Structure 1
Amino acid sequence: MMHWLDALIIVIYLSAVVGVGILARGRQQNADDYFTGSGGFSGPIGSIFVGLSIAATLFSGISFLAYPSVFYDGGTELLAVLIVFPLALAVLALYFLPRYLSGRSQSPYAIIERRFGLSTRTVAASMFILLRIGWMAALIYAPTIAIMAAADLGPPWFWPLVLTIGLSSTIYTTLGGIRGVIVTDAIQFLVIAGGIALTIGYVVLYLPASWSAAAASLADSGHLHRPNMSLDLTTQLTIWSVVIGGTVANFGSYMGDQMSLQRYLVLGSTKAAARSFAINVVGVVVVLVMLAGVGLALASWYQHVPDANLPADADKVFPHFVSTQLPIGLAGLLLAAILAATMSSMTSGINALASTLTMDFRLRFGRQLSPQKQLRFARVTSLTIGVLSTVIAGFVGALGSIFDIAQTLLGVFLGPLLACMLLAVSRWPVAGRAVIAGLITGGIVGGAVALSPIASLWVAPFAFGSTLLVVVAVRSLVNDTREPEVLGAEES
């Protein structure tokens, strides 16, 4: 059973995060203030907050558990994804951001409507909604199971934990808006990094073996093997699946996901957005390397400290280590870090989905609302999404590999959305009907790949590639490159 000091640390942390999120809400007079902060993060300090916020959002509680398990199993090929981030920085700073921010949009997918029409924007927004509702349900469920294992809690604790994680995140997101989300995300990123560093430090200090002996054991067990260069698409971790799949998935997160696009709008300028993304890249690289260190540290620990109760499922090894090895207080801090990773992504997902439903649906298809009613609708929508995701999380069954689930969810939807956004910022003349056909086909192909024996890292490349191929094919068949007229109410 969890020690009272660990429980106290977690309660204090949750209370502090909710309080900071509410206090940081700033001025909220309309939906624009609520979802973009009206450019309130445009300075250097704002860029730091937004950069850390993006990093915290992308490293959810799922990442906190999935990545160590991959490296614990010997998947060092995953480190090859590090080469993606400098490339992403160059593409965003030099190509994507100048074009994306030039339209001065007030909502992330407004540029899609300007280029391809309202129907295309609606399809894209719908894909984003499907992605994030499923993602948030899994996001709450996975850390709940991990915390139960780490704290040695029985089944009666399941619903209280689900409700605590989901509803506490919902409360301060509903009241704090995007400003509250960004400020708390930045703080939580530091907590995440601290929790990872504490785990590695504990293993380094108390491992009953020298560094050279530990490295030799890892090499003998295959954890430090040469990268797998196989071209077999059914093999999960190869250099090709990691580099190609990681490139498309990460580009999709940075250029097709409303949670990232929303933060670029908050900054209000290309220079500030590029600066914040550079900070994000540094943060992501540091955390990914540290998560790799956690996985290898756990592998080394159990090579030298045998445990008859060690779980066979790699996803459960990290929580088992927390519950059986870490001292009182440190275990609480680490569980707080897992909650930080979960809540940062949860709050970003709620705010982004509320933005989609408000800006892409309610204000586009409903009657006009006053600024005050827009804000009220945004808050009610945020509350509804948070509660719905929390309830669905309670009924998520066996998730299988957390890493596979994350890659599948992101690939099926972000692959097509990345293609759509790249076309939207390009000058290539193409009609909306071709883009709609590509989006739908890309999602179907991604789903088919996910259900096949092909490794989950290939879902995003197949979905992305099929989207572009269909756009080109339909464009050629109908011979229609007309662009739709910009609707006067599009930026409302």
Structure 2
Amino acid sequence: MKGLPIFDLVIIVIYLIGMILVGIYFSRNNKNSDQFTKASGLIPGWAIGLSIYATFLSSNTFLGVPGKAFGSNWNAFVFSLSMPLAAWVASKYFVPFYRSTGEISAYTHLEHRFGAWARTYAVVCFLLTQLARMGSIFFGIALSLQALTGYSMQMIMVVMGVCIIIYTVLGGIEAVIWTEVVQAVVKTFGALLILYLIITNMPGGVSKVIEIGKSADKFSLGSFSPDFISSSFWVVLLYGFFINLNNFGMDQNYVQRYHTASSSKAASRSIWLCVWLYVPASLMFFVIGSALYAYYEVNPDLIASIKHQVAVERLPLNASVTEITDLEKTLQPADYGDKIMPHFMVTKIPAGLVGLIVSAILSAAMSTISSGMNSSATVFTVDIYKRYFKPDITEKQNLSLLHIATVGFGLLGMGAGIAMIGVKSILDVWWELSGIFAAGMLGLFLLGIASRQTKNHEAFIATMIGIVVIIWMTFSAHLPAQYEFLRNPLHKNMIIVIGTLSIFLVGVLLTKLKNRNLKSADGNMPV
């Protein structure tokens, strides 16, 4: 079993205790639900921006992006390039809209537009998205810490989850935001430190990384041909725009932060601060992945232990040595990309610095999970419990329910992470699940905002058609060979694009047909 030096363990313990103390500090302010969910609208815009940046810079970025760059190229970086356009739309239209409604939930207005079903559908999609997000992040952090400590992934998730639950329940959204401000600095510094250590351990330095990267086409952004079947530049750009539009425009994680700002202008500025920080930061993680690829190309003997670990994990416990060896020979960089960063940390980062790096990875995970727990609890309380079970809930009961729901979603997130153990790529899993769950609610939301004449009937039919499209695109790949002609021909990242457009365009079309029929009927009426 790999054990961390005492000094590194002390650093990690101090960090975890520090996060809990932050929750205890802010608990003195959490006397009502408004403070727990909105922080009474007193958070400065720059802190909200750093908080949103920290939420984006999760362990999926910290571990998944370098693993993706190691196994393929910089194609996934196009996701980050789509952020400015989505941020412009959100800051110009969505932020003023939410601030004007005053509703803490991002989904309350859907009931005003289309009825209770629309609100409930969006809430279910959001909660499923959050469970997928929290699960992938729990899994990512456990994957890294298992390599460093030797402890089981399940145990790591439980210990980390308990710490996050404590400070999130005690401190509310204020504790979430201010801990994320600290975590944004910690994780950025940690990434810079990792990149420095890779380059200093690399014979030939930066020039050798560039040389190997160019020869292996590691810096490619993907094909620029109009190809929507593979992960081309355009597929990732479209996926990124729609996902980021969903993030900035109707994800409760972000919408709730807009209400903590003192003004709409401060809330809009927080979005742009996140973008200007995240785009170069995400580029740095792709550079880390390419640098790791070059490092292990120069030191190919170090890959053997990683391949062996992956082969053992994929085969049954009673697999023979021959079976393990045969599988090792077939493994490609994409098969073990997520294990590269933890392996480098175990073997090359000096004692004393490992604790700092682990704290950075922990902060990358904790910021997004705590945010997801708080927003999920808020949505559950406002949009489900108060809406359907107890509309006249008292303030004391409301705050207690928020606490209980926060704990509940934290436990569900841990369960989702445990269920993901063994997946091939953290980033791929998160992108696929988020695209599936977000497509429906984004399409419905855009229909409600852009098509003011669309009513309940047209929206319901459009959503049902959109759900059928999403289900088909998601599961048709598993159809038997004789039904191959019914399979989805597009790349899986196009699910959110086609699903969103299906709901929006069908809703607009049905509205136009209804209006045309009404005009025709009015024209035939006797005067």
What amino acid does structure 2 have at the position aligned with 1:351?
Answer: N
Contact 2:36–2:172 (CA under 8 A) maintained in structure 1: yes
- Equivalent runs, 1:42-121 vs 2, <5 Å: 46-121=44-119
2:16 equivalent in structure 1 = 14
Paired position in structure 1 for 2:169: 174
Range that drifts further, 267-276 or 432-441: 432-441
Residues 17/226 of structure 1: CA separation in 2 closer, same or farther (3 Å cut)? closer
For residues 139-181 of structure 1, give each alpha carbon's deviation from its aligned partner in whole angstroms, at most 9, with x where no partner exists. 2123212210233x15xx3332111111111111111111111
Question: TM-score of the superposition, structure 1-length normalised?
Answer: 0.90
Give the counterpart of 2:197 among 165, 189, 202: 202
Query: Residues 214 and 250 (structure 1 numbering): CA distance in 2 closer, same or farther, change over 3 Å?
Result: same
Check conservation: 1:431, 1:480, Cα contact below 8 A.
Answer: no
Q: Give the 3 Å change call, closer, same or farther, for CA 434–169 of structure 1 in structure 2.
A: farther
Q: Deviations over 1:266-324 (max 9, x none)?
A: 21532011111111112211321111111111112112233233445111111111111
> Matches of 1:217 and 1:481 in 2, distance apart?
64
| Mapping for residues 26-425 of structure 1, pairs under 5 Å | 27-41=29-43, 46-151=44-149, 153-154=150-151, 157-225=152-220, 227-236=222-231, 238-306=232-300, 307=302, 308-311=304-307, 312=333, 313-367=336-390, 368-425=392-449
In 2: Cα distance, 1:460 partner to 1:226 partner:
21
Per the TM alignment, residue 65 of structure 1 is displaced from its structure 2 partner at its CA by 1.4
Can you give the 5+ residue segments of structure 2 that lack an aligned partner in the other structure?
A: 308-332, 478-488, 519-527
For 1:487, the equivalent position in structure 2 comes to none
1:111-154 Cα offsets, whole Å, 9 max, x none, are 22222222211111111112212332232123212210233x15
**Does the residue aligned with 2:102 lie in a helix, a strand or coil?**
coil
Rg larger in structure? 2
TM-score (norm 2): 0.84
- 1:395 to partner: Cα distance: 3.6
Shift of residue 466 of structure 1? Answer: 1.6
Give ranges in structure 1 of 5+ residues lacking alignment. 483-492
Q: Which moved more, 1:129-138 or 1:174-183?
A: 129-138
Q: Which amino acid is the alignment partner of residue 218 of structure 2?
A: H
- Aligned partners of 1:184, 1:20: CA distance in 2, in Å? 7
Q: How big is the shift at 1:408? A: 1.1
Partners of 1:338 and 1:202 in 2: CA distance: 16
Q: Any conservation in 2 of the 1:407–1:459 contact (CA below 8 Å)?
A: no
Cα displacement (A) at 1:397? 4.0
The answer as to whether partners of 2:78 and 2:221 remain within 8 angstroms in 1 is: no
**In structure 1, C-alpha distance between the alignment counterparts of 2:198 and 2:511, rounded to whole Å:** 57
SS at match of 1:28: coil
What RMSD over aligned residues (CA atoms) do the two structures have, in Å? 2.3
Output the amino acid matched with 2:305. Answer: N
Q: How far did residue 437 of structure 1 move?
A: 3.7
Deviations 1:383-415 (A, max 9, x none): 122123224433434323212111111111222
Aligned to 2:492: 456
Aligned amino acid, residue 429 of structure 2: I
Runs of 4+ in 1 over 6 A off after TM superposition: none
CA drift at 1:61? 1.4
State how far apart, in whole Å, the 2-side matches of 1:478 and 1:79 are: 43
Q: Give per-residue Cα distances to partners, 1:414-463, cap 9 Å, x unaligned.
A: 22222233333346221134334434443443343234374332222122
Candidates 24, 27, 34, aligned match of 2:26:
24
Q: Is the 8 A contact 2:227 2:234 kept in 1?
A: no
Partner of 1:490: none
1:108/1:346 Cα in 2 relative to 1: closer, same or farther (>3 Å)? same
1:167–1:370 CA distance, 2 compared to 1 (3 A): same
Cα separation, 2, equivalents of 1:230 and 1:350: 41
Supply the distance in 1 between the matched residues of 2:155 and 2:78 (Cα, whole angstroms).
Answer: 39
Alpha-carbon contact 1:109-1:121 (below 8 Å) kept: yes
In structure 2, C-alpha distance between the alignment counterparts of 1:129 and 1:480, rounded to whole Å: 38
| Residues 332/465 of structure 1: CA separation in 2 closer, same or farther (3 Å cut) | same
Aligned residue type for 2:338: D
